[in-house]
Amino acid sequence: MVKYNINLEGKTVLVTGAAGFIGSNLVKRLFHDVKNIKVIGIDSLTDYYDVNIKCERLKEIVRSLRVLVDISESTGDNGITTGFYQGQNGSSWTFVHASIADKDAVEKIFTENKIAVVVNLAAQAGVRYSITNPDAYIQSNLIGFYNILEACRHHEVEHLVYASSSSVYGSNKKVPYSTDDKVDNPVSLYAATKKSNELMAHAYSKLYNIPSTGLRFFTVYGPAGRPDMAYFGFTNKLVKGETIKIFNYGNCKRDFTYVDDIVEGVVRIMQHAPEKQNGEDGLPIPPYKVYNIGNNSPENLFDFVSILQEELVRAGLLPKDYDFEAHKELVPMQPGDVPVTYADTTPLEQDFGFKPNTSLREGLRRFAEWYAKYYDTEKK
């Protein structure tokens, strides 16, 4: 077990992609757990998926802070509110509506605040989208991450934590996927940008002694998630009576990881920066680590869809006699997809005493209940 070397209380934390699925849940968790913490969030609020969901997440953050004073705020298009909020426990929340690809916006945040920890979750996500919209990935995932690295270089931070992805494993045959495995053959541009992030972070850790930790997330799901993910997209189609496409004829396995488990791992890792030390040559040994965060339990796609259907029925979103067989279509594997993802989480368990453990049924039940409430389609 590692010893925590960063106390978040009284510190300023920058969370990029703060209106995103993982980012918003992380911010809420920090406000719940840590007193007197200042969190700055930045997000460009792109329309890659429904901006209303992102705006609702931002409202949830403000509610979680139990705001005492709205020091300043302004509302722009789509009701997006930017500003500064003071909470009851000495904590504060600042939201900046901007892209990390905007170097001046990033530099302004670092110049005006003493950032202790950066959690970079901003990215253009999605494997299939990267095939038809590559420019979005270069801007956010490469140029944006470079801007974050440069800011960390010129404004000394205690720890840079950043999102990588299980996609970096490509079509590796060996499972479970270990961080010791070679990941030199990405099968999508999205995966290539995430591998590039790891290489860039390693270089900056070596050259500038910046403590950095990369996190390879595995198929994150849960309430208020991304509508482009399978569980969300399937639900949208099923409640409308449409047919869902099951890729690779159902012969896929995914290491579904509930968002609260992801956030638990991130919070623990934020508090331990890799130690700075010099090698025999007197030069810094890169203070750099990479971890998998996954459920360590891949689920067959058919089992996943079956559980989802049962939980949608339970939540009143589908009738009890719903004919699922009539609403599914088996189709071939799509470009950029892989047949299995499976995380080896041994290093995470050894260093932090933590392993994700939310069952797929429990996680999908929470999602179905949220969906019914959010879209107000729950049957009375």
Catalytic residue numbers read 190
**What tokens were used for 53?**
């969901």
> What whole-number distance in Å separates Cα of residue 39 and Cα of residue 264?
17
* Phi, psi at 81, each rounded to 5°: -105, 125
Cis peptide bond N-terminal to 134, omega within 30: no
Asked whether 175 and 135 are in contact (CB, 8 A), the reply is: no
131, 167 in Cβ contact below 8 A?
A: no
CB atoms within 10 A of CB 181: 15
The values of phi and psi at residue 197, to 5°, are -60, -45
Q: What is the largest CA-CA distance in the chain?
A: 71
Rounded alpha-carbon distances, angstroms, from residue 356 to 223, 328, 329, 360: 17, 30, 32, 11
**Which residues are 63's β-sheet partners?**
none
**Residue 138 structure tokens:** 């270069």
CA-CA distance, 293 to 2, in Å (whole number)?
Answer: 17
How many Å apart are CA 283 and CA 136, to the nearest integer? 37
Torsion of CA 94, 96, 99, 105, to 10 degrees: -100
Q: State how far the Cα of 166 lies from the Cα of 294, in Å rounded to an integer.
A: 9
Q: Distance between CA 148 and CA 137 in Å, rounded?
A: 15
Contact criterion met (CB below 8 Å) for 195 and 188: no
Measuring CA to CA, which residue among 140, 141, 51 is closest to residue 99? 140
Q: Are 93 and 62 in contact (CB under 8 A)?
A: yes
Residue length, the chain?
380
Classify burial at 341, counting beta carbons within 10 Å of its beta carbon; exposed 0-12, middle 13-18, buried 19 or more.
buried
